[in-house]
């Protein structure tokens, strides 16, 4: 509500819509007399600088509203440098649906899309939100935790490729090591890329290798040595062996670099997170830990006016399902359009909290006893956790397990004193919805 009022008070000298492209952007501008001007903008810092400065000179530095189909990207970062440009990110789907409302045939062009963006600004600006970046510390954490996750996903992808390769010619390695992407597995494959190589090695050499890699359990080491001695080659096809050995060597090097990159990210993220003013608050929640505290900071940030209630966070993050109803039909489904990384953050945190929070574990087990799958039960738990997290975040209060347990006990005692009411509930996508009641 505050954001809407603030937008209404601003008098813009012009309205601009920019249809983003890789090399040249189409733009449309409506000036105060209602004239619509159009042109193209080359995607270079120099061209954007000249264009933005020309607009500032033409309108004497007055604020100019700019709508574009990005909330984060190179063009956004270029334009956000200029104080007289007020950016309004528009979701691509919003523009597509708006265009389809006037062009059912599906005809489109970059200049026309820029003009439609101007129309959205002029007529529906109250439904758009200005780009209001968070603090530098928070945005730095956001970029770092998202970047780290991408490298983790890459590590998983190359681990799967290495697993497939080993299954073809060296499957015993998958039984000797828990994770094929680990440092010990990579060093082992780099030193003994074929079964015949490791079978020629002396037992003392192998024992020393495992000891150096902190795998000193005597029983485990001896079991591995015995399996290595008795192992039989999966194939003797020279073509398969040559290709797979080369592929394994490349994948091992890539995984080594990815491990190093993730380790560097972890150190940088940990340092920045501990210096962040919100660290103590988010660190007070059970199950957050060193990996998820920075991600929770990045998810909510420091702008407490951004969300008015917990429901907005639940819906925006994708934890809450979508209800679509028409006539007598009602369809509840998984939320598709949402920040996937944010949803993953809340889901993973809820899963970790089960081991550290008594009530969270009891709630999860209760949902499982109702027949819900593990993921659905965790999503329901995340739904509850967001309400608690939002209240603590909004009030600048640290989470205290004993206080919440006392509140739950007090609520249970009050419910026990009230007359028994039979409620009828319907379950949609793992969530319970009140359908009606009768005394």
| Domains in the chain: boundaries | 2-133, 140-273, 280-438
pLDDT for position 336: 82
Determine how β-strand 64-68 pairs with β-strand 85-89: parallel
24-30/36-42 β-pairing: antiparallel
CATH architecture of 2-133: 2-Layer Sandwich (3.30)
- Look up the pTM and report it: 0.83
CA angle 240, 241, 247 (to 5 degrees): 90
Pairwise CA distance, residues 222 & 155, whole Å: 30
Closest by alpha carbon to 291, among 258, 265, 261, 260?
265
Cα 429 from Cα 321, distance rounded (Å): 7
Contact (CB, 8 A) for 157 and 258: no
Query: Domain 140-273, CATH 3.10.129.10 — does that match?
Result: no
All residues at 6 or more sequence positions from 122 whose CB lies less than 8 Å from its CB, including other chains: 15, 30
Find tokens 């080594």 and name the residue.
256
**The tokens of 400 are what?**
């205290």
Structure tokens at 394: 């909004």
**What CA–CA distance (Å, rounded) separates 404 from 388?**
9
Return the percentage of the chain with pLDDT > 90, whole number: 75
What Å distances lie between residue 134 and 80, 250, 252, 401, CA to CA? 13, 41, 39, 29
Q: Left, alpha or beta for 36 (phi > 0: left; psi -120 to 50: alpha)? A: beta
How far apart, in whole angstroms, are the C-alpha atoms of residue 105 and residue 99?
Answer: 10
Q: Which of 65, 70, 69 is CA-nearest to residue 122?
A: 65
Residue 70, pLDDT score: 81
Could you tell me whether strands 329-333 and 64-68 are parallel, antiparallel, or unpaired per DSSP bridges? unpaired
CA 330/CA 332 separation, integer angstroms: 7
For the chain, which ranges sit under pLDDT 50?
A: 1-8, 420-430, 432-439
d(CA 399, CA 281): 7
C-alpha pair distances (Å), 221 with each of 9, 188, 207, 284, 418: 73, 13, 7, 41, 63
Count other Cβ atoms within 10 Å, centred on residue 310: 20
pLDDT for res 417: 62
Which CA distances in Å does 72 have to 77, 90, 152?
A: 7, 11, 22
CA distance 152 to 338: 21
| Structure-block tokens of residue 272 | 């920045």
SS (H, E, C) the chain: CHHHHHHHHCCCCCEEEEECCCCEEEEEEECCCCCEEEEEEECCHHHHHHHHHHHHHHCCCCCEEEEECCCCCHHHHHHCCCCCEEEEECCHHHHHHHHHHHCCCCCCCHHHHHHHHHHHHHHHHHHCCCCCCCCHHHHHHHHHHHHHHHHHHHHHHHHHHHHHHHHHHCCHHHHHCCCCCCHHHHHHHHHCCCHHHHHHCCHHHHHHHHHHCCCCCHHHHHHHHHHHHHCCCCCCCHHHHHHHHHHHHHHHHHHHHHHHHHHHHHHHHHHHHHHCCCHHHHHCCCCCHHHHHHHHHHHHCCCCCCCCCHHHHHHHHCCCCEEEEECCEEEEECCCCCCHHHHHHHHHHHHHHCCCCHHHHHHHHHHHHCCCCHHHHHHHHHHHHHHHHHHHHHHCCCCCHHHHHHHHHHHHHHHHHCCCCEEEEEEECCEEEEEEEEC
Cβ atoms 240, 195 nearer than 8 A: no
């Amino acid at each position: 509500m505050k954001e809407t009022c603030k937008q209404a008070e601003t008098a813009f000298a012009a309205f601009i819509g920019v249809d983003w492209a890789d090399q040249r952007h189409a733009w449309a501008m409506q000036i105060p007399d209602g004239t619509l001007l159009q042109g193209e903008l080359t995607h270079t810092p120099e061209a954007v600088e000249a264009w933005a400065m020309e607009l500032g000179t033409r309108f004497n530095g007055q604020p100019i509203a700019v709508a574009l189909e990005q909330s984060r990207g190179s063009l956004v970062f270029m334009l956000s440098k200029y104080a007289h440009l007020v950016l309004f990110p528009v979701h691509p789907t919003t523009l597509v649906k708006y265009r389809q409302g006037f062009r059912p045939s599906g005809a489109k062009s970059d200049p026309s899309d820029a003009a439609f963006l101007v129309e959205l600004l002029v007529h529906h600006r109250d439904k758009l939100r200005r780009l209001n970046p968070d603090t530098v510390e928070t945005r730095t954490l956001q970029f770092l935790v998202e970047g780290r996750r991408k490298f983790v996903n890459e590590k998983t992808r190359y681990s799967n490729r290495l697993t497939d390769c080993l299954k073809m010619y060296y499957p015993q390695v998958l039984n000797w090591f828990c994770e094929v992407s680990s440092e010990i597995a990579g060093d082992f494959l780099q030193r003994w890329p074929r079964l015949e190589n490791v079978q020629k090695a002396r037992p003392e050499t192998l024992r020393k290798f495992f000891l150096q890699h902190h795998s000193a359990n005597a029983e485990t080491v001896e079991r591995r040595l015995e399996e290595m001695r008795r192992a039989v080659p999966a194939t003797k096809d020279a073509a398969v062996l040559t290709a797979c050995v080369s592929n394994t060597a490349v994948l091992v090097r890539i995984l080594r670099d990815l491990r190093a990159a993730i380790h560097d990210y972890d150190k940088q993220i940990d340092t920045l997170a501990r210096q962040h003013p919100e660290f103590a608050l988010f660190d007070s929640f059970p199950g957050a830990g060193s990996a998820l505290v920075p991600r929770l900071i990045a998810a909510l940030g420091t702008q407490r006016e951004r969300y008015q209630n917990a429901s907005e966070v639940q819906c925006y993050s994708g934890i809450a399902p979508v209800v679509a109803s028409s006539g007598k039909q009602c369809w509840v489904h998984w939320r598709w359009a949402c920040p996937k990384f944010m949803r993953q953050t809340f889901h993973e945190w809820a899963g970790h909290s089960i081991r550290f929070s008594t009530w969270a574990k009891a709630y999860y087990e209760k949902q499982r006893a109702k027949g819900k799958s593990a993921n659905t039960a965790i999503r329901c738990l995340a739904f509850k956790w967001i309400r608690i997290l939002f209240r603590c975040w909004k009030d600048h209060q640290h989470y205290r397990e004993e206080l919440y347990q006392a509140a739950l006990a007090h609520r249970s005692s009050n419910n026990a004193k009230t007359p028994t009411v039979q409620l009828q509930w319907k379950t949609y996508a793992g969530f319970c919805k009140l359908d009606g009641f009768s005394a």
